[in-house]
Amino acid sequence: MYEKDPVKIFVVEDDPAYSKFLKYVLGLNPDFDVEYFTSGKECIQNLHKNPTIITLDYSLPDMPGEKVLHEIIQVLPEAQVIIVSAQEKISTAVDLMKAGAYYYIPKDTDAKDRLLYTIKNAREKVSQLKEIVHLRKEISEKYDFEKSIIGSSTSIKKIFDLMEKAVKTNISISITGETGTGKELIAKAIHYSSKRKNKAFVAVNIAAIPRDLIESELFGHEKGAFTGAITRRIGKFEEADGGTIFLDEIGEMDPNLQAKLLRVLQEREVVRIGGNQVVKLDVRIIAATHRDLSLEVKENRFREDLYYRLLGLPIHLPPLRERGNDVIIIAKHFLDHFSKENQLSKFKITQEAQEKLLQYHFPGNVRELKSVIELSAVMAEGQEVRPQDITFTSSKGIDSLLNQEMKMEEYMYRIIRHYLNRYDNDVLEVARRLDIGKSSIYRYLKEMEAAGI
C-alpha cells in the first residue's frame, strides 16, 4: 500500500565529489525524490518537508554528526537516518546506531551497493511502520466505545462510565459476566482507548491451553528448557510489554500456576523457563471470567491474594436478558452489518419478530443473538425478518428432550452437546457443571458420533 509511494530522501554531504557520486547512485531510481544539503543546519531547517530517509555525513563543517542526528530524531522520529562516513571506527558506528541511526556505511568501494541495499531495507521498514500506524488507527476506531459496544440501557451506560475511568489509569481490570456477553470486546475497547493503544493487545484464553504448556505460553522458555524446546520463545507477557495482556477465563488456572502468576504481577518481571535472566515488564492486566471468583476463593479453588491482585477495577457485564430493549438495538446492528458484508439490501425486523426476540432468554447472550439474526436474514423472504424466520436453537434440546424416546446414552449425548454449544466447547466447564469426568464426555461424543447420532 505504502511501498509504491515516492520516497523522499535528504542527502547531507559537504564533499562535492562524494555528493556528485551520491547524485549519480540515487538518480538511478526514478522513485527517489532527492534533495541535497551541504550543512547540518540546512537539513534541520528543511525537516518540515518530511523526508523518509536521510543519508548523513558524520563530519560536517558546521556541527557534529551526533548533534544533527539528535535534532532529526527530535523532529522526525520516524525518519530513517543512514550515517555515511570516512571514519571506520566500530565503536563510533555502534554509538550512533544506539543513538537512533538506522545504519552506518563507511565511504569505501562497496558504498554504492551497500547504500542502495540499505535504502531499500529502510524504505520497507518505513512502509511497515506506516502500515502498522494505519492498522492501529483502524482498530482504535473499530473499538471506540460508542461504535463497538451497542446499547442504551441503564446497565450498559454504567459500563461506559467504568470504562471511561479505566482508560485514564493503568489500574488492573477484572471483567465478569456470562459466556457470550462480550468480555474480550470490553477489554479491547479499554486498551485501544488508553495511552497503551499503540502497543500490543495480547489475548490468552487460559481454558484453551493444556496445563503442561501454559507456563511456557505465558512466561516463555529458553532453548533446551524441556523436550521439544528447540529455540528460545518469549511468552505472552513479554509480547504484551508496553501494552495490555488479557487473561480470559482466569478462573480455570491451575492453583500451582496461580502462585507463579501472583509473583509476576507483584514483581512486574518474568524469568523464562530454563533461564536465569530477569525480564522487567510494563504491562496492564485485564482478567476475565464467567465464574464468581469470590466464591472460588471461599471454596479454596482460587488464591485469595491473587484474587485481590487481579480485582482492580471490577466491571460486571449483565446478561442480554437483563438489558431490555438493547436486544432490538443490537439485533438491528447485526442485521445491518450482515447486509453490508454480503452486499444485500437493508433488512427490517417486524414488530412481531421484535416481540419474539424480547421474549427469549438468550442463554448464549450477544454471541447467540448474532447467530440467530444472521440465520434469520438468510431465511427471510424479501428484506423483512418475520417471527417464522427466527429460530432459537438452544431452546430446543433440553426443553423438548423428554418428549423423545431414546436410550440413556443418547440422552447423555444430547445433554453434553447442548452444554458444549452453550459454553463454547469448553470441556472443562461442561465437565464441572455436569459433574462428570472429561474422559466421559469424550467417550459419549465418540460413541454417538460413530453411531451416526
pLDDT category at 148 given cuts 50, 70, 90 is: low
State the total domains in the chain.
Answer: 4
Q: Which residue has 502497543 as its cell numbers?
A: 199
Residue 143: inside a domain: no
Q: Report CA dihedral (377, 379, 380, 386) to the nearest 10 degrees.
A: -90
At 359 the pLDDT is 87
pLDDT tens digits, one per residue of 82-100: 888 776 667 767 777 788 8
At 449 the pLDDT is 65
pLDDT category at 263 given cuts 50, 70, 90 is: very high
At 133 the pLDDT is 59
At 143 the pLDDT is 57
Q: What are phi and psi of 201, to 5 degrees?
A: -110, 115
CA distance linking residue 396 with residue 151, whole number of Å: 28
Q: Kindly report the CATH number assigned to the domain that includes residue 96.
A: 3.40.50.2300
Q: Which of 138, 165, 194 is the last residue of a domain?
A: 138
User: Is residue 331 domain-shared with residue 408, that is, in the same domain?
Assistant: no
User: Is residue 160 domain-shared with residue 297, that is, in the same domain?
Assistant: yes
Q: Percent of the chain having pLDDT more than 90?
A: 44
Residue 215: inside a domain: yes
User: Is residue 174 domain-shared with residue 309, that is, in the same domain?
Assistant: yes
Average pLDDT over the chain, rounded to an integer: 85
Residue 94: inside a domain: yes
At 262 the pLDDT is 96
Q: Which of 353, 377, 395 is the last residue of a domain?
A: 395
Residue 146: inside a domain: no
At 3 the pLDDT is 45
pLDDT category at 260 given cuts 50, 70, 90 is: very high
User: Is residue 253 domain-shared with residue 160, that is, in the same domain?
Assistant: yes
- Domain interval for residue 420: 398-450
Residue 377: inside a domain: yes
User: Is residue 22 domain-shared with residue 37, that is, in the same domain?
Assistant: yes
Residue 144: inside a domain: no
At 398 the pLDDT is 45
Q: State how far Cα 222 lies from the chain centre.
A: 25
At 293 the pLDDT is 94
- The whole-number average pLDDT for the span 259-274 is 94
pLDDT tens digits, one per residue of 161-219: 999 999 999 999 999 999 899 999 999 999 988 999 889 999 999 988 888 889 999 99
User: Is residue 164 domain-shared with residue 295, that is, in the same domain?
Assistant: yes
Q: Are 410 and 448 in contact, with CB atoms under 8 Å apart? A: yes
User: Is residue 274 domain-shared with residue 372, that is, in the same domain?
Assistant: no
- Taking the alpha carbons at both ends of the chain, their separation in whole angstroms is 50
Residue 64: inside a domain: yes
Radius of gyration in angstroms for the set of CA atoms belonging to the chain, rounded to a whole number: 29
- The whole-number average pLDDT for the span 408-426 is 75
Is residue 127 scored above 90 in pLDDT? Answer: no
Is residue 448 scored above 50 in pLDDT? Answer: yes
pLDDT category at 115 given cuts 50, 70, 90 is: confident
User: Is residue 86 domain-shared with residue 202, that is, in the same domain?
Assistant: no
CA distance linking residue 197 with residue 129, whole number of Å: 15
pLDDT category at 116 given cuts 50, 70, 90 is: confident
At 397 the pLDDT is 40
Q: Which residue has 502500515 as its cell numbers?
A: 131
pLDDT tens digits, one per residue of 397-416: 444 445 455 677 777 777 88
User: Is residue 292 domain-shared with residue 166, that is, in the same domain?
Assistant: yes
pLDDT tens digits, one per residue of 303-347: 999 999 999 999 999 999 889 899 999 999 999 999 998 999 999
- The whole-number average pLDDT for the span 132-150 is 60
Q: Kindly report the CATH number assigned to the domain that includes residue 237.
A: 3.40.50.300
pLDDT tens digits, one per residue of 216-234: 999 999 988 888 788 888 9
User: Is residue 212 domain-shared with residue 201, that is, in the same domain?
Assistant: yes
pLDDT category at 144 given cuts 50, 70, 90 is: low
Name the pTM for this structure: 0.61
Is residue 353 scored above 60 in pLDDT? Answer: yes
Residue 100: inside a domain: yes
Q: Are 188 and 143 in contact, with CB atoms under 8 Å apart? A: yes
pLDDT tens digits, one per residue of 7-61: 888 999 888 888 888 888 888 788 888 889 989 999 999 998 889 889 888 888 8
At 395 the pLDDT is 47
At 145 the pLDDT is 57
Is residue 419 scored above 80 in pLDDT? Answer: no
- The whole-number average pLDDT for the span 136-161 is 73
Q: Report CA dihedral (375, 380, 386, 390) to the nearest 10 degrees.
A: -20
Q: Kindly report the CATH number assigned to the domain that includes residue 375.
A: 1.10.8.60
Tally of CB atoms within 10 A around 111: 17
User: Is residue 234 domain-shared with residue 278, that is, in the same domain?
Assistant: yes
Nearest to 197 by CA among 263, 138, 129: 138
Q: Which of 295, 316, 337 is the last residue of a domain?
A: 316
User: Is residue 410 domain-shared with residue 362, that is, in the same domain?
Assistant: no
Tally of CB atoms within 10 A around 319: 18
Pick 431 or 265 by higher pLDDT: 265
